[in-house]
């Protein structure tokens, strides 16, 4: 993407964990990013593996945000004034099939708990990665998911699984078409495996420097890859925005 195009950037999309957070925390630099984009009048749409209830939290507490894509693309949450609407990207049948599968899963893996935020999830469920340190167990779970035709992906913190076609890109593409905004006029920041659908199909994607830890596992890489400690997570996002917007 040339810098001239970036001057007309219509929407900035960004992953949340590891991209807008640093060491699992939401620091002052996150607010610097919000303030910077607000001053440029460029909306930020967070595209995260976090739950629907997290989407509510973000929209309720950060007035600059009006749309958030959660559950890895499973639901688009929007706010108009004080009214929040939710648009699931999969059918009610898929949502029910997932709920049924969870019961099977709990029978097969009685010692594995779903992530605490799974109660706030609708189109997917999650397991904390730190509960899956045992590689053999991880593979058993992956096999079980495959046998049951359940899709899955890992974020920085979770193994997420769901029914139906869900990806960050499908939801972003749907969102852009609805707004009649061209994808090439937008930018995406990410750092993890669950950002891969975006890296694959989105023209202007940026990997913050901590993406280096998973680079060899990425089949599709971002078009721009930031390097150096100064470009870790939100610092990389802010540096890139300041240089290019
Ligand atoms: Mg991430």
Whole-model pTM? 0.93
Q: In angstroms, what is the span from residue 31 Cα to ligand 1's centroid? A: 18
Q: In angstroms, what is the span from residue 129 Cα to ligand 1's centroid? A: 13
HEC per residue, 44-88: EEEECCCCHHHHHHHHHHCCCCCEEEEHHHCEEEEEECCEEEEEE
Q: In angstroms, what is the span from residue 108 Cα to ligand 1's centroid? A: 29
CA distances for 66 relative to 62, 80, 190, angstroms: 9, 7, 20
Q: In angstroms, what is the span from residue 27 Cα to ligand 1's centroid? A: 16
Rg (CA), the chain: 18
Q: In angstroms, what is the span from residue 38 Cα to ligand 1's centroid? A: 23
Q: Where are the domains of the chain?
A: 3-89+166-244, 92-162
Q: In angstroms, what is the span from residue 107 Cα to ligand 1's centroid? A: 30
Q: In angstroms, what is the span from residue 242 Cα to ligand 1's centroid? A: 21
Successive 10-residue mean pLDDT values, the chain, 245 residues: 67 97 93 98 96 95 96 96 94 97 96 92 94 89 97 89 96 97 96 94 96 95 97 98 96
Q: In angstroms, what is the span from residue 20 Cα to ligand 1's centroid? A: 8
The reply to whether domains 3-89+166-244 and 92-162 share a CATH topology is no
92-162 is classed CATH 3.90.1070: yes
What pLDDT sits at residue 5? Answer: 59
3-89+166-244 is classed CATH 3.40.50.300: no
What pLDDT sits at residue 3? Answer: 47
Q: In angstroms, what is the span from residue 87 Cα to ligand 1's centroid? A: 22
Q: In angstroms, what is the span from residue 114 Cα to ligand 1's centroid? A: 19
Q: In angstroms, what is the span from residue 180 Cα to ligand 1's centroid? A: 27
What pLDDT sits at residue 33? Answer: 98
Q: In angstroms, what is the span from residue 16 Cα to ligand 1's centroid? A: 6
* Concatenated DSSP letters of 105-127: HHHH-TTPPPPGGGGG-SSEEEE
What pLDDT sits at residue 135? Answer: 84
């Amino acid at each position: 993407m040339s810098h001239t195009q970036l001057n007309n950037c219509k929407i900035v999309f960004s992953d949340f964990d590891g991209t807008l957070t640093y060491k699992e925390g939401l620091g002052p630099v996150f607010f610097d990013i919000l303030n910077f984009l607000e001053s440029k009048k460029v909306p930020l749409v967070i595209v995260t593996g976090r739950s629907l209830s997290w989407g509510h939290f973000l929209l309720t507490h950060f007035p600059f945000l009006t749309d958030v894509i959660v559950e890895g693309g499973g639901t688009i949450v929007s706010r108009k004034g004080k009214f929040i609407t939710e648009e699931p990207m999969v059918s009610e049948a898929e949502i029910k099939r997932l709920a049924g599968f969870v019961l099977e899963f709990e029978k097969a893996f009685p010692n594995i708990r779903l992530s605490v935020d799974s109660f706030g999830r609708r189109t997917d469920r999650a397991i904390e990665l730190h509960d899956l340190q045992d590689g053999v167990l991880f593979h058993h779970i992956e096999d079980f998911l495959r046998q049951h035709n359940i899709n899955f992906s890992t974020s920085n913190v979770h193994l997420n699984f769901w029914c139906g076609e869900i990806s960050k890109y499908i939801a972003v593409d749907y969102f852009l078409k609805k707004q009649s905004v061209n994808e090439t006029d937008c930018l995406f920041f990410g750092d993890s495996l669950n950002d891969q659908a975006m890296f694959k199909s989105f023209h202007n994607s940026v990997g913050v420097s901590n993406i280096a830890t998973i680079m060899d596992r990425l089949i599709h890489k971002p078009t721009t890859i930031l390097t150096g400690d100064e470009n870790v997570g939100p610092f990389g996002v802010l540096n890139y925005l300041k240089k290019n917007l």
